[in-house]
Amino acid sequence: MQLTDIRPRLLLGPGPSPVSPSILEALARPTLGHLDPQFLELMDDVADGLRLAFGTDNTMTFPVSGTGSAAMEASLVNVIEPGDTVIVASNGVFGGRLAEMSRRMGAEVVLVEAEWGRILDPDAVIDALRAHPGARALAIVLAETSTGVQQPLAEIGAAVAATDTLLVVDAVTAIGGTPVAVDGNHIDVCYAGTQKCLGVPPGLAPITFSEKAMDRIRSRTVPCASWYLDVSLLAGYLGSERKYHHTAPINMVYALHQGLSELRAEGLEARFERHARAGDRLKAGLVDRGFTLFAQEGHRLPQLTSALLPEGVDEGPLRRRLLDEYGIEVGGGLGAAKGKLWRIGLMGHGACDENVDRLLAAVDDLFGSAVA
Ligand SMILES: *Cc1c(COP(=O)(O)O)cnc(C)c1O
């Protein structure tokens, strides 16, 4: 296959999201060296843009060279030492991934679980924190892309802030679509991804560390188990020293720079409203067509709608026809929800009425022909 044969798709799945032409153009700018003063200036702008997107003043804020999962690993591996207790609050795939990674790093994982599609009860999470006062970290997902649930963090954040435990939050699907409020929620380590509501291709993963987290990292008794993701080494490149650690993915940084400039130009509040509007329109349209919304009412993500298909519909072939005949990608269910639900993303550049209407029109066509 030739690259020129690629047919564009409308990406309305759980990520990646549609990338605007201006961001694609940014990728094609001339590649610079990672120590070029021009590039270092761009990196500083990117850090500023990420602080805005995260809602933080943290100095240690940068894009990890890798996707969201690399930043998830970076968040955990920098704060965990073998034998540490880590509380993981899980109600979906990504909570499960946090637990799996923590175990591989030698942590004793205390799991607090909730049924998929429901939020974690803040009181249950806070009870676990009280029961394990020596826990190194408490990890939780803000926007669970596997179920479409938005987790309330305020009470949990306030409770963790009063302890020595660090709050680690997955904001991969939240950033740029719904508020993260790293400082407001007392989050110590927060990570994200570029390919969801920031509307940038996959390949970089924003991350930020509070002073409380950095103090903990400076007082480690054994070095971080990952050399590549070690923030104390990365600080040598990001700080005034500008020392080589690894080669930054230069052109991806251009794309993120452009994505963050567009976010700044639109304004965070306007962007959140755009996602909220599109999400509401989609949810209403799906319910009208016999779908059942899966996530707990009052805690539904605007940017990721999970909906059970009408009774008796075989979703796999329909989803394939949506892709082949209409050029629209949506996601299927994961785990227990496999074969039963669709996960529809309206993220970043993709969050608009026009895309909702295009999808709903295609669903009408498909369901009409499936029934006929
Ligand atoms: C997409 C996603 C990830 C993983 O990111 P990758 O870029 O696929 O590595 C982690 N957490 C959540 C909540 C996500 O939606």
Q: Is 253 in the pocket of ligand 1 (CB under 6 A)?
A: no
- Dmax over CA atoms of the chain, in Å, equals 68
Q: Count of H helices and E strands in the chain? A: 12, 15
Does the beta carbon of 145 lie inside 6 Å of ligand 1? yes
Pocket test for ligand 1, best of 72, 75, 116, 172 (most atoms within 8 A of CB): 172
Topology classification of domain 3-16+268-370: Aspartate Aminotransferase, domain 1 (3.90.1150)
Q: Is the CB of 173 under 6 A from ligand 1?
A: yes
Q: Cα 189 vs. chain centroid, distance in angstroms?
A: 13
Q: Which atom of ligand 1 is nearest to the CA of 15?
A: 1
CATH number for the domain formed by residue range(s) 21-264: 3.40.640.10
Q: What is the mean pLDDT of residues 351-363?
A: 98
Q: Residues 72, 169: contact at Cβ < 8 Å?
A: no
Name the band, by pLDDT with cuts 50, 70 and 90, for residue 312: confident
- The predicted model gives 168-182 an average pLDDT of 98
Task: Name the residue among 246, 243, 203, 247 with its Cα closest to residue 33.
Answer: 247
CA of 312 to the centre of ligand 1 (A): 31
Predicted pLDDT of residue 338: 86
Residue 370: pLDDT band (50, 70, 90) is low
Q: What is the pLDDT of residue 183?
A: 98
Give the Cα separation of 42 and 45 in Å (integer).
Answer: 5
What does the alpha-carbon distance between residue 228 and residue 240 come to, in Å, rounded to a whole number? 20
Same fold for the domain at 3-16+268-370 and the one at 21-264? Answer: no
Average pLDDT of 228-253? 94
Atom of ligand 1 nearest to the CA of 70: 9
* pLDDT tens column, 255-281: 999 999 999 999 999 999 999 999 999
Segment 73-91 shows an average pLDDT of 98
Please determine, for residue 336, whether its predicted confidence score (pLDDT) is greater than 80: no
Shortest-distance Cα residue to atom 12 of ligand 1: 172
pLDDT of residue 369: 65
% of the chain at pLDDT higher than 90: 94
67 lines ligand 1 (CB under 6 A): yes
Map out the domains of the chain as residue ranges. Answer: 3-16+268-370, 21-264
| 8 A C-beta contact, residue 245 and residue 236 | yes
Question: What does the pLDDT read at residue 372?
Answer: 45
> What pTM was computed for the model?
0.97
Tell me the average pLDDT across 215-226: 97
Rounded mean pLDDT of 112-138? 98
Question: What is the 343 CA–ligand 1 centroid distance (Å)?
Answer: 14
Measure 207 CA to ligand 1 centroid, in angstroms.
13
Does the pLDDT of residue 332 top 70, yes or no?
A: yes
Inform me whether the pLDDT recorded for 371 exceeds 70. no
Nearest CA to ligand 1 atom 5: 68
**193 CA to centre of ligand 1 in angstroms:** 7
Query: Is the beta carbon of 73 within 6 A of some atom in ligand 1?
Result: no
Residue 368 confidence class, pLDDT cut points 50, 70, 90: confident
Q: How far is the CA of 90 from the centre of ligand 1 (A)?
A: 14
Residues, the chain: 372
Average pLDDT of the chain is 96
Least reliable range by pLDDT among 82-96, 142-156, 200-214, 311-325: 311-325
Cα of 28 from ligand 1 centre, angstroms: 25
In the 8-state DSSP scheme, what is residue 10?
Answer: E
CA of 331 to the centre of ligand 1 (A): 14
Closest C-alpha to ligand 1, atom 14: 172
66 within ligand 1 shell (Cβ under 6 A) = no
Q: How far is the CA of 69 from the centre of ligand 1 (A)?
A: 6
Only one residue has tokens 């570029």, namely 194
Using pLDDT thresholds of 50, 70 and 90, give the confidence band for residue 299.
Answer: very high
Per-residue pLDDT tens for 11-58? 999 999 999 999 999 999 999 999 999 999 999 999 999 999 999 999
Question: Is residue 118 within 8 Å of residue 152, measured between CB atoms?
Answer: no
Report the alpha-carbon distance of residue 114 to residue 95 in Å, rounded.
Answer: 10
Does the beta carbon of 93 sit less than 6 angstroms from any atom of ligand 1? no
Q: Is 303 in the pocket of ligand 1 (CB under 6 A)?
A: no
Question: Which whole number is the average pLDDT over 132-152?
Answer: 98
Residue 1 has pLDDT above 50, yes or no: yes
